Amino acid sequence: MTHSTHAYVTDDRNEKILIDINGELFPRAEAKVSVFDSGFVLGDGVWEGLRVHPGPDGKGVIAFLDRHLTRLWDGAKTLDFDMGLSKETLAKRLYDCLDANDAHEGVHIRLMVSRGVKSTPYQDPRATITPPTIVIIPEFKRALPETARKGKRLFTVHVRRGYPDGQDQKLNSHSKL
C-alpha cells in the first residue's frame, strides 16, 4: 500500500469517543442519522476537516477555526441553506465535544453539516422538515512516525477537482462528483 499523507497511527481511544449530533453526545456505536437525511440521500451538505493542537493552557486549539467556519458558512450559503446557529455556538460545540472526549492534541475532527432530514427522498429543498444536521466526529489521529520523521514529497497536478465552471473548488460539499 502506498504511504499517503492520510496514514495515521491507530488509537484504541477512538472506540470510545463521543460524537456530537445536533448538540447531543452519543457513544460511537450509537451515533446515527436518519436515512432520510439530505446528506445521506442526496450528498446535500458541507464539511470541514479540522486539526487540534495543544494550546498553552494544555487545552486543544483548533487550527484556523475562523477560516474553516467561514468556508463552511460560505458553502452552506452556496447550497442555499441556513446553518441554523451562529459560528460562535458551533465553535463552542466543537470545543465542548473535545472536552467531553479529553481530546486536546493529535486529534482530527470531521465536521459535517447537511441541509437536514427530508420528508421523502426528493431533491426539492422544500421537502426538508428539520433544521440542518450537524455532526462532529473527533478522532485521535497522529501521523505515522515515519511521516513525522521524513515528511512527504508533494506535487501539484493540473486539475485537482472538476473545472470551476462545473464545481466550486473552494466548496467542501458532501457530493464531489
What percent of the chain lies above the pLDDT cut of 70?
85
Evaluate whether 94 touches 62 at the Cβ level (below 8 Å).
yes
**Is residue 73 included in any domain, yes or no?**
yes
For residue 35, what pLDDT is reported?
97
Evaluate whether 172 touches 75 at the Cβ level (below 8 Å).
yes
Q: How confident is the model at residue 154 (pLDDT cuts 50, 70, 90)?
A: confident
Backbone φ and ψ for 5, nearest 5 degrees, come out as -70, -10
Q: How confident is the model at residue 79 (pLDDT cuts 50, 70, 90)?
A: very high
**Is residue 172 included in any domain, yes or no?**
no
Q: How confident is the model at residue 145 (pLDDT cuts 50, 70, 90)?
A: confident
The model's pTM is 0.88
For residue 156, what pLDDT is reported?
75
Lowest mean pLDDT among 25-39, 60-74, 79-93, 141-155: 141-155
Of the candidates 111, 129, 112, 110, which has an alpha carbon nearest to the alpha carbon of residue 120?
A: 129
Domain range enclosing 53: 19-145
DSSP 37: B
**Is residue 141 included in any domain, yes or no?**
yes
DSSP 158: S
The total of structural domains in the chain comes to 1
Q: How confident is the model at residue 176 (pLDDT cuts 50, 70, 90)?
A: low
DSSP 34: -
**Is residue 171 included in any domain, yes or no?**
no
Over residues 93-107, the mean pLDDT reads: 97
For residue 138, what pLDDT is reported?
98
**Is residue 9 included in any domain, yes or no?**
no
| CATH number of the domain bearing residue 79 | 3.30.470.10
**Which amino acid makes up residue 117?**
V
Q: How confident is the model at residue 177 (pLDDT cuts 50, 70, 90)?
A: very low
More confident residue, 38 or 170: 38
**Is residue 53 included in any domain, yes or no?**
yes
Burial 43-80 (b: 16+ CB within 10 A, else e): ebbbbbebbbeeeeeeebbbeebeebbebbbebbeebe
**Is residue 92 included in any domain, yes or no?**
yes
pLDDT at residue 167 tops 70: no
For residue 1, what pLDDT is reported?
46
**Is residue 29 included in any domain, yes or no?**
yes
Q: What is the pLDDT of residues 9-26, one digit of tens each?
A: 899 999 999 999 999 999
DSSP 51: E
DSSP 84: S
